[in-house]
Structure 1
Amino acid sequence: MTLTDRTGTHPDPSGALGAVAVQPVHRPGTAIDLAALNGAGVPLLDVTVPVYNEEKDLETCVRRLDDYLAIQFPHTYRITIADNASTDATLRVAERLARELEHVRTVHLDEKGRGNALRRVWLASDAPILAYMDVDLSTDLNALAPLVAPLVSGHSDLAIGTRLARSSRVVRGPKREFVSRSYNLLLHSLMGARFSDAQCGFKAIRADVAQQLLPHTLDKAWFFDTELLVLAERCGLRCAEVPVDWTDDPNSKVDIVRTAAEDLRGMVRLTSDMARGRIPLAQLQAALARGPLPAGERAAEAGRRQSLLGQLVRFGAIGAASTLAYAALFLLGRVFMDAQTANFVALLLTAITNTAANRRFTFGVLGSARLARHHAEGLIVFGIGWALTAGALFWMTSIPTPGQWIELTVLTLANLAATAVKFLLFRLWVFRRRA
């Protein structure tokens, strides 16, 4: 791998760009010391432009970006062209730009993928603020300074451009509009995401935060953005959103259908990784937590501000799985128990797992804070459900010799009737967000 700057091409001594040491120049959550940066000769902002076979448009776009930053941007900067294994003359054009323009460098990677490029370049950068934008510059560059400002002040940890704000001005076809809004709706409903626009190619992150999050990202392509944002939200980090003016590139090489399918697979994989503990959220939260809440409290509160629709979808899915589990356990218990005992045991076992699943996935409560209390209150909710089903069983005693399937049907209906009460108690009492 090689790094190219204005003086030419030089070998990367590490042999792996991701292994280059980074010297942080500020503490998380604090304003960046601009004077110290200038004294050290380190740029405040490193803008990465991932490219693949962009020999025709690369020079025009990079020169336009460099001109804008030199004239309009109030801080020091660097532009990093990340060539993702291009097969045309893109790398030659990028290396020539690095020789001719003072603030441009080129990184060549032997593997395709936007996520792969951003992860490798960002982990190697010495700048305290890292950003990226698409090579077509679809986003109006006047949004760049507002994107970076909350990161410089320490107000936010990440910043994203959004095309879905009411004040955004967007020019694109109905197909892309539909796919974008549908994808974000799925993120909000199924993963509890709160950011409005996952795939806008206009984002920035503080380098100290990136150093913590990037090693836990796996996607090498387009889902990388979503993966990074979801992890940041689950860790309780603050994300600023900037409305942008955006014009669709009619010559875009992005395959919308294939990208959408890959993103859906990424959602499934990321959900599984977090559920199985591959991503150590608790450790990440402890390392990144800051602000008025102690680390444990901040971890427990992370991810709670979720939409009612999203909560209902996840609660319903967990409830359906719990109902099936309850039915199986009840039928198994009836082999050697009476109906009341089998009902109590099946309800108790499913209630414990149901509370744990809703705590984590429906209401986004992470960490161990108030864990015992939540389960104790969940058992009270279980008691209400048991009272309803036990009452249904008592009512069935008036029916001469009811069969097991009649018992199961009546109990299932009683469970469904208790579901609405359970959701309200979970939302308004057990997992109510504390001020």
Structure 2
Amino acid sequence: MKTLTFPPAGATASGPLGASGLPARVPLAANGGSPRTGTLLDVVIPVHNEEAGLEPCVRRLHTYLTDTFPYGFRITIADNASTDRTALVARALENEYDEVTAVRLEAKGRGRALHAVWSASDAPVLAYMDVDLSTGLNALLPLVAPLVSGHSDLAIGSRLAGGSRVVRGGKREFISRAYNLILRGSLHARFSDAQCGFKAIRADVARSLLPLVEDTGWFFDTEMLVLAERAGLRIHEVPVDWVDDPDSRVHIVRTAADDLKGVWRMGRGLAAGALPLDRLRRPFGDDPRDHAAGVPAGLARQLAGFAVIGGLSTVATLALFTLLRHGTGPQTANALSLLVCTFFNTAANRRFTFRVRGRDRAVRHQAQGLVVFAIGLVMTSGSLAALHLASHDVSRTAELTVLIAANLAATAVRFLLFRAWVFSDQRDGSTAGSAPSAEAAGSPSAEATDSLSAVSANSPMGQAR
């Protein structure tokens, strides 16, 4: 049995982080598995005090993989600080099966165990499943296939997806659905099941993603998925057959409290732009949208975001104009309403349309936004002045009609100026303005990746540091 240590945040098992981002996806089937062992899939079973359930789990999984899985595989038992006979059972299974490896961590935490074992593994596809095997094994090949083909970056089993068949108690069903609603409402997550113990990830993605995941417990899964989704990685969902384990030792209340703390921490990080998601970006050309003829990079998405924000800003400007018009003249009401809404419009477009996070250059962007405001003010005020010159008896309805038309024209000019001048360095939707330095952030360098392949010359699994 090998002993692993947990790599600190900001470093992989093989070395410091670089700044090159993820490589382009390529199919793995043509390359086979690890050059040294021929292993394509490493299935990790994290355990803590599971002396009774570990042996039948490993035997059943090994039989299934031997009979049905078309690639080389390894089963890794990750014993995280068990105090019973789990380590002895793991060692006996390791001695019995060539494809079984046992490792030991001296600290508890499922996330800690997965982080350490996945970081040290030489297999190109990494997976994990719970020791109770609540998830039907027939979903394993559909889980791994999109990663092998290069179609997806991560794959998760989902008990809430259409086609899944689930047997579980009402309390756990309610908690699971409530938690996923919280994720959708607070972190805007689009995946359907964060905590099903049945997931897989490509190793090249894991090497860049794992250093960003801080949690070492049950929230590890959620944090990993939210980061991946926010970075634009593709997550494949597989409907599963799942039977609740009545002997589960998960402390529901404590786990739920820890999860909510994790949601709050991630929400703050995302809002502040503190998460260096640029480390997980694929190179240009990996996405078919990169090759859309005649459409500049990011234009369609930016237009959609700008249109939504522009529509809301126009409504707010007209409402404020109507309110101020009762006590002031039309030109003053128009100038004040435009000025107030300009600050919110610039901030919203900065964050959502052009995806600039953090405080870097925020003051400069607002100052440039005021120049754009001045241009819009000339257009709208000029339209109002022309209206009043044409007629001395102008109704409020006529003023609003002219303002709507002028605002639409000013909005088009505002978008062009935002894209070509204010946020000109963000045309591709990157976050270069807020990215950490290469020394502090990035994905593994080629040298670090090579060193990971040489973790141990004597076994498929070695020291994580």
TM-score, normalised via structure 1 length: 0.69
Whether 2:74 is the aligned partner of 1:78: answer yes
Superposed, 1:19-168 pairs within 5 Å as 19-20=13-14, 28-34=24-30, 36-37=32-33, 40-168=36-164
Match of 2:394 in 1: none
In structure 1, distance between residues paired with 2:32 and 2:43:
20
CA contact (8 A) 1:160 1:242 kept: yes
**Residue 266 (structure 2) pairs with residue 279 (structure 1):** no
Work out whether residues 47 and 132 of structure 1, in 8 Å CA contact, stay in contact via their aligned partners in 2.
yes
Name which of 318, 323, 344 aligns with 1:350. 344
Matches within 5 A, 1:229-240: 229-240=225-236
Question: Does the 8 Å contact 1:285/1:299 carry over to 2?
Answer: no
Q: 1:110 to 1:153 in 2, by over 3 A?
A: same
The answer to whether the aligner puts 1:216 opposite 2:212 as a matched pair is yes
Q: CA deviation at 1:347?
A: 3.3
Q: Structure 1 366/222 Cα, relative in aligned 2: closer, same or farther at 3 Å?
A: farther
Q: How many pairs are equivalent?
A: 354
CA spacing shift, 1:291–1:56, aligned 2, 3 Å? same
CA contact 1:300–1:367 (8 Å) conserved in 2 = no
One-letter code aligned to 2:208: Q
Report the equivalent of 1:401.
none
**Cα separation, partners in 2 of 1:301 and 1:141, compared to 1, 3 Å:** farther
Does the 8 A contact of 2:209 with 2:224 survive in 1? Answer: yes
Contact 1:160 1:202 in 2 (8 A): yes
Instruction: Judge conservation of contact 1:159–1:205 (CA < 8 Å) in 2.
Output: yes
Distance 1:174 1:289, change over 3 A: farther
Unaligned runs of at least 5 residues, structure 2: 17-21, 325-331, 385-403, 417-427, 429-465
Instruction: For residue 349 of structure 1, report the CA deviation from its aligned partner.
Output: 2.7
Contact 2:135 2:242 in 1 (8 A): yes
Provide the TM-score with structure 2 as the length reference. 0.65
Superposed displacement of residue 115, structure 1: 1.0
1:381-409 per-residue CA deviation (whole Å, 9 max, x = no partner) reads x98xx99xx9xxxxxxxxxxxxxxxxxxx
Secondary structure of the 1:205 match is strand
Residue 106 of structure 1: how far off its partner (Å)? 1.1
Task: State the 1:206 CA deviation.
Answer: 0.4
* 1:199 CA drift (Å): 0.7
Residue identity in the other structure for 1:350: F
**CA distance change for structure 1 residues 83 and 366 in 2, over 3 Å: closer, same or farther?**
farther
Aligned partner of 1:226 in structure 2 is 222
For residue 30 of structure 1, what is the amino acid of its counterpart?
V
Partner Cα distance (2:12, 2:278) in 1: 24
Residues 55 and 20 from structure 1, CA distance in 2 versus in 1: closer, same or farther, beyond 3 angstroms? farther
Deviation at 1:62?
1.1
1: CA distance, partners of 2:44 / 2:357: 34
3-state DSSP class of the match of 1:196? coil
Question: How far, CA to CA, are the matches of 1:105 and 1:49 in structure 2?
Answer: 10
Matches of 1:100 and 1:21, distance apart in 2: 33
**Kindly tell me: are residues 253 and 36 of structure 1, through their superposed partners in 2, closer, same or farther at Cα, counting changes over 3 Å?**
closer
Distance 1:83 1:298 in 2: 46
For 2:337 and 2:37, locate their aligned partners in 1 and report how far apart those are by CA, in whole Å. Answer: 71
One-letter amino acid matched to 1:78:
R
Q: Distance in 1 between matches of 2:199 and 2:240?
A: 11
Per-residue deviation at 1:290?
2.2
Q: Distance in 1 between matches of 2:180 and 2:124?
A: 29
Please tell me the root mean square deviation across aligned C-alpha atoms, in Å: 4.6
1:181 aligns with 2:201: no
1:351 aligned partner, one-letter code: N
- Report deviation, 1:156: 0.9
CA–CA separation in structure 2 for the residues paired with 1:189 and 1:165: 18
* SS of 2:281 mapped into structure 1: helix
Cα distance change on mapping 1:231 and 1:38 into 2, 3 Å: closer
